[in-house]
Structure 1
Amino acid sequence: MTSIDLRVSPKTVQQQAVEKLRGAIISGMFKPGDRLLEAELCDLLGVSRPSVREALRSLEAERLVSLIPNKGPYIPILTWEHATEIYQVRAVLEGEAAALAAGRSSAEDIRAMRAALQEFEQSVQDDDAAKQVSSTARFYEDLFRLSGNRIIEETLTGLLARINFMRGKSMSMPGRAKVSMQEMVAILDAIEAGDSEAARRAAVYHVEQAHQSAEKAWQDHAGQ
């Protein structure tokens, strides 16, 4: 299991517990099908069992955790049909988010997003899958924020979290990470130019290509 510091400070324990567990799930520390043992989570987080249970209930509402009677909490396993639906919704919402961001970005915003892409490029050279996912997440956090639409931001953040494990598998396909970099640069270039329709097209194309790569990764895994 990947070593991640999950301990929280006494202040805002409940919210920190949720954020720490969400981050562990998104980072891949906990993978689809993994059971989440309350006693182990109490030790990792340094909080009480009631706090862990409340955190798990919050994450269940986000569909990052499933709570099954008599079985306990676990990380849900995504079907390919469900994943396809998520990619379809992503294409629509990310296209809209990019189009909205094209009219709202500042020079500072662009610098921050380019920094995330530079980190992504370095992680590709280093073959660091975890850094690839985290730098991509930073890029999209800024993109969604720039859309100025909190519903789009909240919805997409939840959708990406639910398929993050699959995104990592997709990115591991030969050549995909470098192509993904080019696609994200195209999105950012259009946003910087203030071209809403070009940003929309670039964002939709990126999701469609990611979907195809994820499908290939899924098929390869199923054939093993």
Structure 2
Amino acid sequence: MNLRVSPRTVQGQAVEKLRSAILAGMFKPGDRLIEADLCELLGVSRPSVREALRSLEAERLIAIIPNRGPQIPILSWQEAQEIYQVRSLLEGEAAALSALRSRPEDHKRMREALAKFGKATRQGEKVLQITSTGELYDVILNTCGNRIIEEILRGLLARINFLRERSMSLPGRAKFSLKEMTGLCDAIERGDADAARAAAIHHVEQACAAAREAYDRDARRD
């Protein structure tokens, strides 16, 4: 992965490049991010790297540990399981509400996100898989009409993306995920709140099972 950036909009590009690298799994949980190494990788100054790291800390994609500096957070399986439980409840309700409130233009945006995910799956582009999934759920959250559900789930976004990267690392998982999200969109388009809730919950449960398998696989490697 080429991380070097052009001189213009240096800080914004540095944030974008590092974010993509983290979500692509270039850095693993627990890895320390050494400023000098990042300067060399990105081809930018130390102040630009520091600003980028502060932005990523605000997104909770990195943690700055006293006496150790920035590192990729370690997400335990216990915490991951709790996040999946919250997602199951809230995303199920958001999907049901979206089925009742969304409009044809919203459905078009969901289909566009699904198309991007399908392309990313065929090409093996992990970052695009994650960002396109996020675009799909953006539509659902924007149309559900419940600001508290939206606020809670957006607050979990960085950790959700970490888990998406983990579950998508299993061979074949992305194809099943595409089928699950297609069923979710179908239910929302039909205005079937019960089916949308069930589809959203099923998708989270399957993602949870895939993440559990990925955690077990990584534990065996250690």
Partner of 1:25: 22
CA-CA distance at 1:33 after TM superposition: 2.0
Contact 1:56 1:73 in 2 (8 A): yes
Cα displacement (A) at 1:208: 0.7
From 93, 99, 109, the equivalent of 1:102 is: 99
The one-letter amino acid of 2:65's match is I
C-alpha displacement of 1:8:
8.2
- Bigger drift between 86-95 and 171-180 goes to 171-180
How far apart in 2 are the matches of 1:124 and 1:178?
Answer: 7
SS in 2 for 1:223: helix
Letter of the 2:212 partner, please give it.
Answer: E
Q: CA shift at 1:122, angstroms? A: 2.7
> Which whole-Å deviations, capped at 9, do the CAs of 1:113-146 have from their partners, x for residues lacking one?
1122122223323333333223222212222222
Offset from partner CA, 1:54-85 (integer Å, 9 cap, x none):
65455445432222221111111111111111
Q: Structure 1 unaligned runs (5+)? A: none
Q: Give the SS at the match of 2:188.
A: helix
Q: Which runs of 5+ in 2 are unaligned?
A: none
Change (3 A) 1:58 1:106: same
Amino acid paired to 1:117: L
User: Which residue matches 1:220?
Assistant: 217
**In 2, Cα distance between the equivalents of 1:79 and 1:104?**
36
Is residue 180 from structure 1 mapped to residue 177 from structure 2 by the alignment?
yes
- CA RMSD in angstroms, aligned pairs only: 2.9
Q: Is the 8 A contact 2:187 2:193 kept in 1?
A: yes
Which residue is 2:72 aligned to? 75
Deviation at 1:171, TM superposition (A): 2.0
The aligned residue for residue 117 of structure 2 is 120
Q: Which residue of 2 aligns with 1:198?
A: 195
TM-score (norm 1): 0.80
Q: Cα deviation per residue 1:22-59 (whole Å; 9 max; x = unaligned)?
A: 5553344443222223345567385763x655654554
Is 2:66 the counterpart of 1:66? no
Query: Is 33-42 or 127-136 further displaced after alignment?
Result: 33-42
2:23–2:127 contact (8 Å) kept in structure 1: no
How far apart are 1:110 and its partner, in Å? 0.9
Shift of 1:3: 2.5
Paired residue total: 220
Deviates more, 1:27-36 or 1:54-63: 54-63
Shift of 1:166: 3.4
